[in-house]
Chain A
Amino acid sequence: MKSDASKLGFYLLLAPILLWLIVLIILPHIGLFMVSISEKVGPREFETGFGNYAAFFGEPLYWRTFARTAIMSILATALTLILGFPIAYYIAKLTRGRTKTTLFLMCMIPFWVSELVRTFGWMILLRETGVISTTLQRLGLVSGPVELLYNDAAIMVGLVYTSILFMVVPLVTTLDSLDDSLIEAGYDLGGTSSSIMREIVIPHAMPGIVSGCIVVFMLSLGNYLTPILLGGKDSLWFTGMIYTQFITRFNWELGSALGFLLLALSSAIVFLGLKLSKQSLSNTMGRT
């Protein structure tokens, strides 16, 4: 009797997440998959087949854009890690009490503003008539206005800026859990700052590093706004391409196929990353 009641409770608690998964994730994906495997042979005539997938591999623009998106995202992830790690280490290990809370909050404050507004902020800074360009001209360092927008570097800046919080938070959490006496023991046994970082801090922070990297990579890969606004028309971002298929070209079949490929390929890259760093998904996601 009692076990029946506890079972009911278990299923009741499970219900919201199951509903969410089924209605919002699994069902749309099944629908998307159905659309992606239907080839248009005439007006309102469809055949089942993998023609849309073949189109991705057949058309260099598609897979090159994908490769470019993936490489840029990996680069953005690496940059975010390089920038985020010292910040997280400083917050977690070198400050305490109020300072720690304040610094953590300061990392968070920009994220209270919508991503669109933040990206426009960058545009104000980087555009031809923007703050940086004007300042450089005033200082006499350049003779005419400089356009800093609409290139890959601008996209990279935007991506790193957008996702750094998602790197800092898991890193602070894992670094916080590193006992200070382990670092002291490292010094006591003759370790140098770099060897302690390499042998003690980084192995301990590995789950946080990996989970931060996964989140940042996925966010960058799936980002639409930043590459379009900061990269301009030539940004060639894979999500932009999917958008074009759905909205401009009205080719839902190819759009769905591209969407599915994005999911599959990004999963493959994450899987590869986990294998290379010898971490498991449950280990990295379970801890943060």
Chain B
Amino acid sequence: MTNIESDLACRDLTKDFDGFRAVDHVSFDVPKGSFFSILGPSGCGKTTLLRMIAGFQSPSSGDLRIKGRSMIGVPPNRRPVSMVFQHLALFPTMSIGDNVGFGLRQRGVGRSEIARRVEEVLDRVGLPGVSARRTDQLSGGQKQRVAIARCMVLEPDVLLLDEPLGALDLKLREHMKVELKSLQAAFDTTFVYITHDQSEALVMSDNIAVMNQGRFEQIGAPHEVYHAPHTAFVAGFVGDANRIDARVSAVNGHFLTLTSAASTEMKVKVADNSLSVGQGVQVFLRPEAIELSKTSKSLDGDHNVSQCTVTSVLFNGANSSVIVRDAGGNMINVAMPQTGSFADLHAGDMVFTSWHPNKARCYPLARA
């Protein structure tokens, strides 16, 4: 079962705390040299999972393999993984050079060899000649790179990152996303990154696992997770989506006719038609999947068209959106077209919204 090419493999990994299951039968493989993100809201168990991989917590059951070798019972200082901590955990009592050289010193590498390798790795992360400085003399982004250098100098099989961008300001965070991705490519090491920020996960990852309540809801490439979410949780958590509660009123092959709570009708195309008439469903619709128009004439007949009133215009540069209210009273968030044709839109204006039936995702309501 274990793939030779996978650097990290988990099988049915479970962690129980007193009467509470933090990680629930999680299985996944991380291919060599890839960027794997675990995305989930706070409290979903992603930190516990990462700490089990690092060795700070031992799983209640299941297996964890790194390069095919089981890590159960192996203490953290003997594992071929390194971790970048949430607050980086640079040693404040040491210089930058001593920080980066710490791991090599533990391995008994010679002094001159340590100095050479420390300089080399600091050079690779773009911070040459900072060895003698103290940790508090660096900026947030520089500290980040030192923390990565401190791990990478040990040439780990897997680098774990515990939301290291959380403490940075927005601008720097955007910058570090790109930089982390290029560092990962440059070092060609497997990165396992945990975050609650979906944009971090989407931008950087080769694969994303979406985690909720100790379970993996879906594992897939960013575009799969975004465009073809397997569950209602994934659809709601990854990216923005309008959620509409509705009931199936007719089934015609892959086409469903739904009636919303406010008794407006819509057509939805689904991949599998396991849904039956009368069943409650949740419909998720991305803001950018909805087209706006000022007249109803140009719109396609297949589309779900409805006349709406603009309730507010949210200007946010390229991410501007409009909130409209349809006839049934549903509030729908619609992305503003980038052409500028709706720049004069105001609250109270009448617009038509339309969306293609295959753009929406439909999930049965969780039974209470």
Say whether B154 contacts A190, CB under 8 Å.
yes
B255–chain A nearest beta-carbon distance, Å: 54
A32 to B103, alpha carbons, bound, how many Å?
57
Chain A residues within 8 Å of B93, by CB: 200, 203-204, 206
User: Could you name 15 residue pairs across A and B whose Cβ atoms are closer than 8 Å?
Assistant: A181-B85, A184-B83, A185-B83, A185-B85, A185-B89, A187-B75, A188-B54, A189-B77, A189-B82, A189-B154, A190-B106, A190-B154, A191-B102, A195-B105, A204-B93
Residues of chain B in range 96-132 having any CB-CB distance to chain A below 8 Å: 102-103, 105-107
Q: A189-B82, A189-B154 are contacts. A181–B89 as well, Cβ < 8 Å?
A: yes
A195 to B107, alpha carbons, bound, how many Å?
11
Chain A residues within 8 Å of B87, by CB: 179, 181
Say if the beta carbon of A186 comes within 8 Å of chain B.
Answer: yes
Say whether B86 contacts A181, CB under 8 Å.
yes
Interface of B toward A, CB cutoff 8 Å: 54-56, 75-78, 81-83, 85-87, 89, 91-94, 102-103, 105-107, 150-151, 154
Q: A189-B151, A191-B102, A199-B102 are contacts. A184–B89 as well, Cβ < 8 Å?
A: yes
Closest Cβ neighbor of A183 among chain B residues: B89
Main secondary structure of the interface of A (DSSP, over half): helix
Say if the beta carbon of A137 comes within 8 Å of chain B.
Answer: no
Say whether A191 contacts B77, CB under 8 Å.
yes
Chain A residues within 8 Å of B154, by CB: 189-190
A190–chain B nearest beta-carbon distance, Å: 4
Closest Cβ neighbor of A205 among chain B residues: B93
Say whether A184 contacts B56, CB under 8 Å.
yes
Say whether A189 contacts B102, CB under 8 Å.
yes
Chain A residues within 8 Å of B75, by CB: 187
B113–chain A nearest beta-carbon distance, Å: 16
A186 to B82, alpha carbons, bound, how many Å?
10
Chain B residues within 8 Å of A203, by CB: 93-94
A188 to B76, alpha carbons, bound, how many Å?
5
Q: A181-B85, A181-B86, A195-B106 are contacts. A188–B77 as well, Cβ < 8 Å?
A: yes
Of A181, A184, A200, the contact of B76 (CB 8 Å cutoff): A184
A255–chain B nearest beta-carbon distance, Å: 45
Of A179, A189, A200, A206, the contact of B103 (CB 8 Å cutoff): A189
A64 to B113, alpha carbons, bound, how many Å?
51
A209–chain B nearest beta-carbon distance, Å: 13
Chain A residues within 8 Å of B82, by CB: 188-189
Say whether A190 contacts B103, CB under 8 Å.
yes
Chain B residues within 8 Å of A200, by CB: 91, 93
Task: Kindly list the 5 A-B residue pairs having the minimum CB-CB distance in the complex, ordered from nearest.
Answer: A189-B103, A203-B93, A185-B89, A190-B106, A181-B89
Say if the beta carbon of A182 comes within 8 Å of chain B.
Answer: yes
Say if the beta carbon of A192 comes within 8 Å of chain B.
Answer: yes
Say whether B77 contacts A184, CB under 8 Å.
no
Say whether B85 contacts A192, CB under 8 Å.
no
- Work out how many contacts link A and B, with CB atoms closer than 8 A: 65
Chain A residues within 8 Å of B56, by CB: 184, 187
Closest Cβ neighbor of B98 among chain A residues: A199
Chain A residues within 8 Å of B78, by CB: 190
Say whether B83 contacts A188, CB under 8 Å.
yes
Chain A residues within 8 Å of B91, by CB: 182, 185-186, 199-200
A206 to B94, alpha carbons, bound, how many Å?
13
Chain A residues within 8 Å of B103, by CB: 189-191
Chain A residues within 8 Å of B89, by CB: 179, 181-182, 184-185
Say whether A192 contacts B77, CB under 8 Å.
yes
B159–chain A nearest beta-carbon distance, Å: 11
Q: Which of A184, A189, A199 gathers the greatest number of chain B CB atoms within 10 Å?
A: A189
Q: A195-B106, A200-B93, A203-B93 are contacts. A189–B86 as well, Cβ < 8 Å?
A: no
Closest Cβ neighbor of A190 among chain B residues: B106
A187 to B82, alpha carbons, bound, how many Å?
10
A267–chain B nearest beta-carbon distance, Å: 27
Q: Which of A181, A184, A190, A203 gathers the greatest number of chain B CB atoms within 10 Å?
A: A190
Closest Cβ neighbor of A201 among chain B residues: B93
Q: A179-B89, A200-B91, A200-B93 are contacts. A187–B76 as well, Cβ < 8 Å?
A: yes
A182 to B55, alpha carbons, bound, how many Å?
15
Chain B residues within 8 Å of A191, by CB: 77, 102-103, 106
A147–chain B nearest beta-carbon distance, Å: 48
Say whether A186 contacts B83, CB under 8 Å.
no
A123 to B76, alpha carbons, bound, how many Å?
49
A100–chain B nearest beta-carbon distance, Å: 19
Q: Which of B54, B76, B78, B87 gathers the greatest number of chain A CB atoms within 10 Å?
A: B76
A191 to B102, alpha carbons, bound, how many Å?
8
Q: Which of B86, B87, B106 gathers the greatest number of chain A CB atoms within 10 Å?
A: B106
Per-residue CB contact flags for chain A residues 10-48 toward chain B (1 = under 8 Å, else 0) read 000000000000000000000000000000000000000
A190 to B83, alpha carbons, bound, how many Å?
11
A17 to B87, alpha carbons, bound, how many Å?
40
Chain A residues within 8 Å of B85, by CB: 181, 184-185
Chain A residues within 8 Å of B55, by CB: 187-188
Closest Cβ neighbor of A182 among chain B residues: B89
Residues of chain A in range 129-143 having any CB-CB distance to chain B below 8 Å: none
A288 to B110, alpha carbons, bound, how many Å?
38
B75–chain A nearest beta-carbon distance, Å: 7
Closest Cβ neighbor of B86 among chain A residues: A181
17 further interface pairs, Cβ-Cβ under 8 Å (given A181-B85, A184-B56, A191-B77): A181-B86, A184-B54, A184-B85, A184-B89, A185-B89, A187-B75, A188-B77, A189-B82, A189-B103, A189-B154, A191-B103, A192-B106, A195-B105, A195-B106, A199-B94, A204-B92, A204-B93
B152–chain A nearest beta-carbon distance, Å: 11
Closest Cβ neighbor of B83 among chain A residues: A188
A204 to B135, alpha carbons, bound, how many Å?
14
B45–chain A nearest beta-carbon distance, Å: 18
Say whether B54 contacts A189, CB under 8 Å.
no
Residues of chain A in range 188-226 having any CB-CB distance to chain B below 8 Å: 188-192, 195, 199-200, 203-204, 206
